[in-house]
Structure 1
Amino acid sequence: MSTTRTPTLYLSHGAPPLADDDRWTRELADWSGGLARPRAILVVSAHWEDAPLTVGATADDVPLTYDFWGFPQRYYEVVYPAPGAPWLAERVRELATGPGGSVRQDPARGLDHGAYVPLKEMYPEADIPVLQVSMPTLDPGTLLALGRRLAPLRDEGVLIVGSGFTTHNLREMSRRPHGEPPSWSAEFDDWVHRSVSAHDVDALLDFRHKAPASALAHPRSDHFAPLFVALGAGLDGHERSTSTVDGFWHGLAKRSFQFE
């Protein structure tokens, strides 16, 4: 077991073709290269909402869920045979179940592209156990509290990853040519960066009212919600936040954070 407290991460994972972006893949590889090797990885992805909190597959060679359509066949042939983490599933159950709460298990639910696409770049050997759990809600306060309950895993060598996208509006993205990011994406990205740097948790929780262009940056908050799990898990002893990745992909902000 690791004796070093792990950080928590919020990363912008993008669609499968983002793995063809040499800059992004290099940034993720450099990021993981600077981290102590975790004992296991716990992922909360924008692409799995299920209540109550649901634990995914724990068997060896965790299956993948190709939860996208309309892409070339090669994206459906990607593999990431990470070991399962049944012991981590049990720890999540112990930590996450509050009074009157419950945790469900879905042994057939594999890693979705919010999990395996970035992990393939960060840990390409697929030799670290991975567990994915659902987001039981999109409510920022509830997810922040969930992250705080999961925080003890950091002292057990578990890397907690919230996987989303700092701005996410596919309809607006499809209307724009390549080039400079739209103002709504740049303004929201800048606000998030400043709010995280200032540790302004209250502003982040109220992003719908405090952030510029929030309705355009996130018509639905599923891709922003994983930030609150990572932020909550990082609040205990949170001394530093680092913006590890920035820039834009098809106008969407790739900004990612490390909390420690």
Structure 2
Amino acid sequence: MTAPVLYLSHGAPPLADDTRWTQQLADWSAAFEKPKNVLMISAHWEEAPISVSPTTRLVPLTYDFWGFPQKYYEVEYAAPLAPELADSVTGLLGGRGLEVHRDETRGLDHGAYVPLVEMYPDADVPVLQMSMPTLDPATLFEIGRTLAPLRDEGTLIVGSGFTTHNLRWFNPAAGADAPPPTPSAEFDHWAAETVAAGDIDSLIQMLDRAPAAHEAHPRTEHWAPLYLALGAADASGASTVESTIDGFWFGLSKRSWQFG
């Protein structure tokens, strides 16, 4: 089994209350073979050297958000550990001279577990989360290329971010389906066309080439996981790309892609 590569917009914890988006995520995961395990790269874990989540014992989730109702801090997702995947990641990256640290204390953050709860609600797929050691696009792309062989072992590589992420646009009073700000719509349109065209150079130079780039991503951590996904897809010869989810949520683009 050669698993696909995903980039998804993960939403905030209240995504769980959006019946349309949760159904889209469930339908998406049901459309391809269940993976052997998942390697999750979330916008919410930046750490160098590269670190991976626990492999020896289950630890509580990382509730890396503030000011939400209590119910969002009571979510649990006890996915099995993935020590073999951690070994594979360490071996592949070590072959490039990259150090991999095992953090046995940090549970999955909301960029990881929020979408996984919807995609694999039985928590029956082993999950390993990996940190981003930098936000540099070319570096992340090459790390993704290095990890590409994992696909042939049945590993689903997932970059979890948000296609536009300017929280100044987030207006709960307007409702989830309110028309997006023009910059969000413009960037989403560019992203859809550029990813579909496989224009890696333009994607890597997003800040210089995309319309409203600095407004859509005042900081690029939610766009950065795409580069790992693109690298893994490119190195393994993924010949297809599909925009699997589109539309907006409180003004932010939730566009997501499947490669291969």
Fold-level similarity (TM above 0.5): yes
Equivalent residue runs for 1:157-172 within 5 Å: 157-172=154-169
Match of 2:164, SS? coil
Which amino acid in the other structure matches residue 195 of structure 1?
T
5+ residue gaps, structure 2: none
Structure 1 contact 62–83 (Cα < 8 Å) conserved: no
Change in CA separation of 1:62 and 1:159 when aligned onto 2, cut-off 3 Å:
farther
Give the AA of the match of 2:215.
Answer: L
Give the match for residue 137 of structure 1. Answer: 134
Q: Which residue of 2 aligns with 1:227?
A: 226
Indicate yes or no: 2:252 matched with 1:255: no
Aligned-residue sequence identity (percent) comes to 61
Stretch deviating more after TM superposition (91-100 or 234-243): 91-100
Write the deviation string for residues 114-138 of structure 1: whole angstroms up to 9, x where unpaired: 0001000000000110000100100
TM-score (norm 1): 0.96
Q: Distance in 1 between matches of 2:20 and 2:163?
A: 17
1:44-81 per-residue CA deviation (whole Å, 9 max, x = no partner) reads: 00000000111111235453100001101100010101
- Whether 2:236 is the aligned partner of 1:239: answer no
User: 2:172 touches 2:250 (CA, 8 Å); kept in 1?
Assistant: no
Please state whether the residue corresponding to 2:114 is helix, strand or coil.
helix
Instruction: Kindly indicate whether the alpha-carbon contact (under 8 Å) linking 2:39 and 2:128 is maintained by their aligned counterparts in 1.
Output: yes
Quick one: distance in 2 between partners of 1:29 and 1:175?
25
Structure 1 residue runs without a partner (length 5+): none
* Aligned equivalents of 1:32, 1:100: Cα separation in 2: 34
- Quote the residue 2:213 is aligned against: 214
Q: Which amino acid aligns with 1:158?
A: T
Q: Deviations over 1:144-186 (max 9, x none)?
A: 0000000000000000000000000112324983421000000
DSSP-derived class of the 1:192 partner = helix
| Alpha-carbon distance in structure 1 between the residues aligned to 2:191 and 2:59 | 33
Match of 2:108 among 107, 111, 119: 111
Please tell me whether residue 147 in structure 1 is matched to residue 144 in structure 2: yes
SS at match of 1:104: strand
AA matched with 1:216: E
Whole-Å separation in 2 of the counterparts to 1:227 and 1:68:
22
Aligned length: 257
Distance 2:172 2:78 in 1: 36
Instruction: State the AA in 1 paired with 2:70.
Output: Q
1:12 aligns with 2:9: yes
